[in-house]
Amino acid sequence: MKTKKNPMKCPKCRPIIKARSLPRIAALTLLSVFAMSLCGCTFFDASLEGMLSPPKLTKAQTEIYNALTLSIGEQSELIYPKSGEYRSPFVLFDMDDEITEEAIVFYREKSPNAGAVSGLRMNLLDRKGGHWVSVSDCSLPGTDIENVSFYNFGEGINVIVCSSFPGQSENALSVLNYSVGRLRELYRSNYGFMDIYDINDDGYDELFLVSYDPAMESNVASLVGQSRGDRGEESRFGLLSSASLPEDVVFVQRLTRQRLGEGRFLLFLDHSKGENSYGTQVLSCFSDALFLLDFGEAMARRSNSNIPMLYSTDIDGDGVVEVPVTYPMLGYEGLTVPEQMFRVDWLVVNNDSIFSVASKYSTYVSIGYEYIFYIPVRWQGFVTVQKMENNTVNFVLYDNNSFADIMLSVRVSETPPEEEGWEHYGDGDSKVYIKSPKGDFPMAFTADELKSSLYIVPKKG
């Protein structure tokens, strides 16, 4: 029976069930002591040894910790997750749908047993007869806990623990389940990129991972989740499918999804290629199977101080994802990349044939992503941009390899420009001002054309 999902998100995960984390007690800092000593204040007398002592545990934490040490001994160190919603080494959560909650404790062995790589461990305790009792213990990869989250992938509650290794770019992932009185690891993998999302619209989330495969000498995209046992097979959690990515995919930045039809989706992976070069890889996802649609260099883009970082997105709200591709503007082709001004074309994957793409818009995007200027067809091949002072850009005719008449000036400013001729454009939150040239120019804009061409990007929250 499916559970209703909660759309709440955290930076890397989207938990559908909220756990209760016991509060982490912060230690006093030495800053106040130094400040008072500088100003001559002597409100209290505190020894340095006392100030550096570990934070005291709450009553509940003390009971759990005592039960832990009774089971594993005192040679342990509590580990605090570095990020995410749960920052305490003690997390209370109902792992088995019983009346009482279980306690999860993350710790590191000070003297790991033979065969233990890092000594990083996770212990699960339950209340029995009014007392906390350790019921299961397992090792974890890595040396530090990055974050912890809880999900229902379709067969009960799972805990996801992300951990890290010193000096390594990839983190480790463990998916665990508590059943029949013990913790059981369902899946373990390294990853450089992770997203948790209902990729296939089956009502439950899946893990989307990108990790480096030394044997292939390239990154591999993997879809991990609960198989449904459609052909009489037993349902299980694990790898559903994978696809190798091109060698120039250095680091995946973001995943965006587009629905094609019932059970059919496109996954857009924005990634770095190194040296201010970026691109987008497109994967087809159908019946949990990933397939790479290799468009080569068709979805490549460059970056410098004249253009913001751009990602694949549905810029016009029609349900179709547009992919940004950059080209030097007229007059800038012969300059080095740091000096160039860029035109941004937005490509879409054709619905009729997902193996081809088409250009949908040709635009100029402001440096701070305050506005997008949709270049009209009658300007294409004739008009370029000229970067001026005061965060101003002129759209000018390019004639005989030189800048000619100004067709439109756009400025981004916190305050209204002092010079005459500038008009505020957009709503009250907009910082965009425009200035149209005086006189009659064949290529000049009408008011209606300007309204359909200059889009003010809304401010984020």
**Is the pLDDT higher at 55 or at 82?**
82
Gap between the Cα atoms of 399 and 302, Å rounded = 26
Distance CA 266, CA 186 (A): 27
**What is the separation of C-alpha 120 from the centre of its chain, rounded to a whole number of angstroms?**
26
Percent of the chain at pLDDT exceeding 70: 84
With H, G, I as helix, E, B as strand and everything else as coil, classify residue 440.
Answer: coil
pLDDT higher than threshold 60 for residue 396: yes
Rg over CA atoms, the chain: 28
On whether the CB atoms of residues 266 and 283 are closer than 8 A, the answer is yes
Q: Residue 238: what pLDDT? A: 93
Distance CA 441, CA 267 (A): 45
- Using 50, 70 and 90 to split pLDDT, how confident is the model at 10? very low
pLDDT confidence of residue 112: 54
d(CA 123, CA 112): 15
> Looking up tokens 């001004």, which residue turns up?
341
Residue 402's pLDDT band, with cuts at 50, 70 and 90, is: confident
Closest to 253 in 3D by CA, of 218, 229, 230, 277: 277
Q: Are strands 264-274 and 251-261 parallel, antiparallel or unpaired?
A: antiparallel
pLDDT band with cut points at 50, 70 and 90 for residue 453: very high
Domain ranges (residues) in the chain: 382-461
Q: Give dist(CA 132, CA 60) in Å, integer.
A: 10
Distance CA 54, CA 393 (A): 57
The pLDDT score that the predictor gives to residue 192 is 96
Query: Predicted confidence band at 444 (pLDDT cuts at 50, 70, 90)?
Result: confident
- 430 in Cβ contact with 456 (< 8 Å): yes
Check whether 404 has a pLDDT greater than 80.
yes
Beta-ladder partners of 225:
238
* 288-316 pLDDT per residue, tens: 899 999 898 899 999 999 999 999 999 99
Average pLDDT over the chain reads 84
What pLDDT shows up at residue 216?
Answer: 84
Question: Is residue 333 over pLDDT 80?
Answer: yes
Output b/e per residue, 105-126; b: 16+ Cβ within 10 A. bbbbbeeeeeeeebbbbbbbbb
Task: Write down the residue that tokens 């999804």 correspond to.
Answer: 257
Q: Summarize the confidence of residues 312-336 as an average pLDDT.
A: 96
Taking only the tens place, the pLDDT of each residue in 336-370 is: 999 999 999 999 999 878 999 999 999 999 999 99
Higher pLDDT, 350 or 438: 350
Task: In whole angstroms, give the CA distance from residue 356 to residue 351.
Answer: 9
Asked if residue 115 has pLDDT above 70, the reply is: no
- Dump pLDDT digits (tens) for 31-76: 343 343 334 343 334 443 334 445 677 888 899 999 999 998 887 8
Residue 413's pLDDT band (boundaries 50, 70, 90)? very high
